[in-house]
């Protein structure tokens, strides 16, 4: 004897499919500008795999620190350095034990013009350019790393009047991409995908020329009771996120 087939209305089926995400939450995330493209890619998988929604704001790490101290509603902070999250930890502004390094950044000297930047960065010493773009070294760790490179190469004085400062690494990139600066120091992740520089010409700066750009993440005090905040941090430690992060030129 055959059993009757179970018939489901479209509404009932939709309800069943949504049960797994019935308790999904939203997490507000402050993201260092250099990590814009990776987190956008990770967010899609995170939302699909967990049901939680990631809402990101992008900017300079130093500016985010000031906003967090002034009560901004961020629950997770993906910084471009390790010193700012450590400072927040000392100030008891994060969930204890939540700080970890999610990526190690790479600095690049880039021009939108193919062939303009050589693979050893000699273009810097030739001094034939009018404008060199960097992020604000006071608020953006990639900007600080850029000044360390110039200092190590003995070019601080020679480039002083050529520098064009962006508020963050995104604006520094935009100065170069729009031609307002012939070249500039950017995050490799802004120009790199799946093993190659996507456009223009670049010198991948050796890490020996600047302090390591260790990028730490923390769950902020406002996110201590949000399951989505904890889920995101755990997701960033997983293999799927690691593959995305590496594809943009970061080390893990």
Q: Is residue 18 part of a domain?
A: no
pLDDT of residue 16: 36
Q: Is residue 4 part of a domain?
A: no
Do 80 and 136 have their domain in common? no
Do 86 and 132 have their domain in common? no
Residue 196 lies in domain: 106-209
Spell out the residues 6+ positions from residue 46 whose beta carbon is closer than 8 angstroms to its own.
Answer: 52, 54, 231, 232, 235, 241
pLDDT of residue 20: 44
Do 171 and 115 have their domain in common? yes
Q: For the chain, which ranges sit under pLDDT 50? A: 1-22
Do 87 and 126 have their domain in common? no
Q: Is residue 5 part of a domain?
A: no
pLDDT of residue 23: 54
CATH number at residue 174: 3.40.190.10
pTM of the model: 0.82
pLDDT tens digit sequence for 62-107: 999 999 999 999 999 999 999 999 999 999 999 999 999 999 999 9
pLDDT of residue 193: 85
Which tokens sit at 50? 């967990």
Do 137 and 160 have their domain in common? yes
**Structural domains counted in the chain:** 2
Q: Is residue 86 part of a domain?
A: yes
Do 205 and 217 have their domain in common? no
């Amino acid at each position: 004897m055959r059993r009757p087939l179970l018939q489901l209305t479209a509404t009932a089926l939709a309800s069943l499919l949504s049960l797994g995400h019935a308790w999904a939450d939203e997490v507000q995330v402050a993201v260092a500008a250099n990590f814009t493209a990776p987190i956008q890619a990770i967010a899609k998988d995170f939302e699909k795999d967990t049901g939680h929604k990631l809402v990101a704001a992008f900017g300079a790490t130093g500016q985010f620190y000031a906003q967090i101290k002034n009560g901004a509603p961020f629950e997770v902070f993906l910084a471009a350095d390790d010193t700012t999250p450590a400072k927040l930890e000392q100030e008891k502004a994060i969930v204890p034990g939540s700080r970890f390094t999610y990526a190690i950044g790479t600095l690049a000297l880039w021009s939108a013009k193919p062939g303009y930047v050589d693979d050893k960065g000699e273009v810097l010493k030739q001094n034939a350019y009018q404008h060199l773009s960097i992020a604000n070294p006071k608020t953006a760790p990639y900007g600080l790393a850029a000044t360390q490179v110039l200092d190590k190469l003995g070019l601080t004085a020679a480039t002083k009047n050529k520098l064009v400062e962006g508020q963050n690494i995104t604006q520094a990139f935009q100065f170069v991409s729009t031609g307002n600066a012939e070249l500039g120091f950017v995050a490799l992740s802004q120009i790199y995908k799946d093993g190659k520089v996507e456009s223009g010409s670049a010198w991948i700066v050796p890490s020996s020329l600047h302090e390591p750009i260790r990028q730490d993440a923390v769950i902020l005090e406002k996110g201590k009771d949000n399951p989505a905040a904890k889920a995101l941090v755990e997701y960033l430690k997983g293999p799927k996120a690691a593959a995305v992060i590496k594809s943009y030129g970061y080390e893990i």
